[in-house]
Amino acid sequence: MKVLILCTGNSCRSQMAHGFLQSFDPNITVCSAGTEASGRLNAKAVQVMKEAGIDISGHTSDSVSKYLNDEWDYVITVCGGANESCPAFTGKVKTRLHIGFDDPSHAVGTDEFIMSEFYRVRDEIKAGFYDFYLKNIKNEQ
């Protein structure tokens, strides 16, 4: 089973989703990428995932072009807001899904508010991807 998670920057939401999905089942292949990969992970995303018991600090922020020639069981986009365009994936895919989340890296305000957005989105990603896992992957094994 191979799953590719896509967003724009591949620094925050897709990385958190990647970490959670891999933690649910180490036997599936999970990768994440972005159409405009930032080349680095968002430090706050790494922090809130570490607090949830998942270390994503070793992940890389990769361009979607790295994965275009591979075949995927699932390609999942995680873009959220109406002003965000989700990346299109032109590679070989059995099932395309969209599970959208707000981008906490765009939060403005106090440090406390910004961190609360990272926690909120992290928890929403965990719940959304666990639901996906139970309905789609666990049942296929």
- Cα end-to-end span (Å), the chain: 9
Active-site residue, 79 included:
yes
The secondary structure element, H or E, covering residue 132 is helix 111-132
CA 118 – CA 107 distance, rounded (Å) = 9
Distant-in-sequence, close-in-space partners of 53: CB < 8 Å, separation ≥ 6: 23
Contact 23, 54 (CB under 8 A): yes
Set 1, 28, 86, 114: catalytic member: 86
34 bridge partner residues = 7, 63
Set 4, 7, 45, 48: catalytic member: 7
Set 16, 56, 64, 79: catalytic member: 79
* Tokens 């965990």 belong to residue: 126
What are the residue numbers of the active site?
7, 79, 86
